[in-house]
Amino acid sequence: MHLCRASGATCPAFKAMTTPDPSAARNPCISCGGDAWRHPFVARNFQGQSFRYVSCASCGLVELDRGVDTAGAGEVYEEAYYGEGPSKFADRIQSVRQRHAQKKAARISSLCPGQPGRLFDVGCGDGLFMEAMLKRGWSVDANEVGPAALARAQKLTSTKLGRGDLLDIVVAEGSYDVVTIWQVLEHVTRPAETLQKAFRMLKPGGLLTVSVPNAGSWQARLFGSQWFHMDPPHHVHLFTPDNLSALLNRHGFNPFLFVGNPLEFGPFGYVQSFMNMMGLRKDSFFELLKSKALTDRRLSVHQWMMMGLAGILTPPSVLLALMESPSRCSGTFEMYAKAKR
């Protein structure tokens, strides 16, 4: 884990690799207000469909091309996205995810002395983080757009969870000590409005936490359109530490802490991205990890070969993930901010 204050130098983002985009005018950048956009590349999803991304020439914010019909992008998910079994991943992977959720819960508690208090988890997924906070005595509310994930999370608590986008559900304002947005902001089509609502939900001086893929990471620059976190149409916006910090400042928050967790997503990001670059079907190893075939150990020859390749790629991927983190270039990062009021 790498921690530092939320200001300071960061890696160059996609803007270093792009060419001017002469297409139709776009809305200003939500982070810096700039109106000059560049065209980095076209990226494919698991189904082989192509999507165009653009990046802000000023701050490097990457987003799904607004010239394409993005209605519902990032908000509608095929059933397989949530995994085929009783949990999203096989048991061993779930146990690793559970440990990371517990680390997040410990960090939140350490930043909120005198608690437990009230927390709202935006896009709670299958509820592992929510469960970790409940065990620490916190009162937790949450929402989730996916029915499969929501059903799994609901099993962990008697609290009634909201179904749907945060902007579309009624949430009590000014009553939460903490709002968490773990690996969700990149999915929403209106991140600025989402942050505005989170601000209204918090008590004065309340804590907001956001974790997102890092568009300024080594992974992003090395793999480009083959980067694992380039996941169209689910990932609508991709941030760097600098432009996310600027966005938070614009909407009432004071970022004070950057956290890079290189071992949470970093090694897998490298493994899957290397496989993508080798010509394997986009993100096919990730899909395998969610499939019942892995749990039942009924793998095809091709799937066994992917497992073997993953074993070969993992050691150098761990090393790369550890090397990239100290310079704020980890594949994903967390930003912690206080509501200014």
* DSSP codes, 187-232: T-S-HHHHHHHHHHHEEEEEEEEEEEEBTTSHHHHHHGGG-TT--T
Give me the domains of the chain, ranges plus CATH numbers.
2-339 (3.40.50.150)
Q: Reply yes or no: is the peptide bond before residue 233 cis, omega within 30 of 0.
A: yes
For residue 95, what pLDDT is reported? 77
For residue 90, what pLDDT is reported? 61
Residue 52: exposure state from Cβ atoms within 10 A (0-12, 13-18, ≥19): middle
Task: Count Cα neighbours of 7 within 13 Å in the Cβ-side half-sphere.
Answer: 3
The whole-model pTM stands at 0.87
For residue 75, what pLDDT is reported? 45
The three-state secondary structure class of 39 is strand
d(CA 185, CA 334): 11
For residue 71, what pLDDT is reported? 45
For residue 195, what pLDDT is reported? 97
- With a cut of 70, which residues of the chain have pLDDT below it? 1-25, 66-92, 158, 292-293, 295-296
d(CA 282, CA 47): 8
Query: Phi and psi (nearest 5°) for 157?
Result: -155, 155
d(CA 149, CA 154): 9
